[in-house]
Amino acid sequence: MKSDVKKWRVSLPLHEALQVFAGQHASAIYELNDASATPEAESFVAACASQHAGAAIELLSKSILAREHPALILQNLPDALPRPVTVNDLVGKRTSDANELYALAARHLSLDKRIVNLGKSILRDRNQAVHLGYSDHDLGEILDRISLWIYYLQESSGLKESDWLSSSASAAQYSRFNAFTVGIREAITDARAKFERMKSAIIDAHQKDVSRLSFSKWRQDREQSKLELHELGDLIAEVCPACESQAQIVAMIDDVEYEYEGPDEVSTNVFYSFAFECPVCELEFDDTEVTFVFKDGQSLAELQDRFALGI
Ligand SMILES: [Zn+2]
């Protein structure tokens, strides 16, 4: 190792070095190229992205905790730590499990539960990429997931893109997140237009021939139609932001985690992946989009306002 690298590393307090390393991993995801010629290459790009995303979450969590106290990230409490602590002082010391540290950092920042779960899901995806060599998500999905996580993490921690990401990754994060939001707005607007076309056709037909379905009966039939298809997951009733019909979020159990809390005390954490679909206008959202669109306790008017729908 060249001495100037070591010199640079020990010149930074631990939490600052960890933030730099986290930013390097997060930035690296944006520099990956998805224009892969073969499925093998595409799979490898996704596995690399997944490993970088998990490393970014783990290292940023450590940085956030180490800023409070460096001992927080260690598995065993050390006898003494010098001040300031640098990464070199941690040689030979074990840091705690990434999931535990992330959970602790998330509590410290009061991160929203869905965002906490998104981060845990990114960490699980990283483990699969490390131990089995592949990711279930492609590069685009990994970017959507990590950019959403980064957006909320920054909002809670006060970090800014330019504090920890490279300049090109900062710009990419900013435009990626905007594109994600614009994509959601367009999906809602398109579904709304489609719904209005269907609605006029049904009303016209009913006016010409009263034996044809009325609009309210047609809507009711469609609202009921897909319920029976979802026996595998729990349904959460949600009003569709596009057509205001009764729709559902389907919650499928992704993973169950048991956490040892003390003698005879084990807490159970159930992780879900979500999908939204409206049986009337057919608007659909995947897991990442559901996490972003539907906030707990948000009214329909607030949701429509958030996406500037002007409905
Ligand atoms: Zn709808």
Flag the least confident range among 47-51, 94-98, 236-240, 255-259: 255-259
pLDDT for 36 equals 66
Residue predicted with more confidence, 12 or 269:
12
Can you tell me the mean pLDDT for 185-207?
A: 94
Encode pLDDT of 35-90 as tens digits.
767 999 999 999 999 999 999 999 999 999 999 999 999 988 877 777 788 988 88
pLDDT category at 92 given cuts 50, 70, 90 is: confident
Give Cβ neighbours of residue 299 (< 8 Å, ≥ 6 apart).
none
Whether the pLDDT of residue 311 is over 70: the answer is: no
pLDDT for 40 equals 92
The answer to pTM > 0.75 is yes
Can you tell me the mean pLDDT for 88-94?
A: 86
Distances (CA, A) of 308 to 53, 182, 301: 30, 10, 10
Whether the pLDDT of residue 273 is over 70: the answer is: yes
Residue predicted with more confidence, 49 or 308:
49
Residue predicted with more confidence, 301 or 105:
105
Other beta carbons within 10 angstroms of residue 28's beta carbon come to: 18
Give Cβ neighbours of residue 273 (< 8 Å, ≥ 6 apart).
121, 251, 252, 254, 287
pLDDT for 1 equals 62
296: left (phi over 0), alpha (psi -120 to 50) or beta: beta
pLDDT for 261 equals 73
Contact present, 152 and 111 (Cβ < 8 Å)? yes
224 Cα to the center of ligand 1, angstroms: 13
pLDDT for 6 equals 86
248 Cα to the center of ligand 1, angstroms: 10
pLDDT for 163 equals 94
176 Cα to the center of ligand 1, angstroms: 26
pLDDT category at 103 given cuts 50, 70, 90 is: very high
Residue with tokens 């640098």: 86
Please give the Cα distance from 276 to 185 (Å, whole number): 15
Can you tell me the mean pLDDT for 245-269?
A: 82
pLDDT for 309 equals 61
Please give the Cα distance from 261 to 213 (Å, whole number): 58
Amino acid at 95: T
pLDDT for 217 equals 93
244 Cα to the center of ligand 1, angstroms: 6
Contact present, 191 and 283 (Cβ < 8 Å)? yes
280 Cα to the center of ligand 1, angstroms: 5
Whether the pLDDT of residue 188 is over 50: the answer is: yes
Encode pLDDT of 17-43 as tens digits.
999 999 999 999 999 977 767 999 999
247 Cα to the center of ligand 1, angstroms: 7
100 Cα to the center of ligand 1, angstroms: 39
| Residue 15: its H or E element | helix 14-31
Distances (CA, A) of 63 to 101, 196, 291: 10, 50, 25
Distances (CA, A) of 193 to 220, 234, 245: 19, 29, 14
pLDDT for 77 equals 80
Instruction: Sheet containing 246-262: give its strands across.
Output: 234-239, 246-262, 265-277, 284-285
288 Cα to the center of ligand 1, angstroms: 19
Give Cβ neighbours of residue 80 (< 8 Å, ≥ 6 apart).
none
204 Cα to the center of ligand 1, angstroms: 20
Can you tell me the mean pLDDT for 176-204?
A: 93
Contact present, 241 and 309 (Cβ < 8 Å)? yes
Distances (CA, A) of 57 to 14, 38, 83, 146: 16, 29, 25, 9
- E strand intervals along 82-239: 234-239
Whether the pLDDT of residue 91 is over 90: the answer is: no
Encode pLDDT of 208-230 as tens digits.
988 888 999 999 999 888 766 66
Please give the Cα distance from 26 to 169 (Å, whole number): 8
Encode pLDDT of 116-175 as tens digits.
989 999 999 999 999 999 999 999 999 999 999 999 999 999 999 999 999 999 999 988
**In residues, how long is the chain?**
311
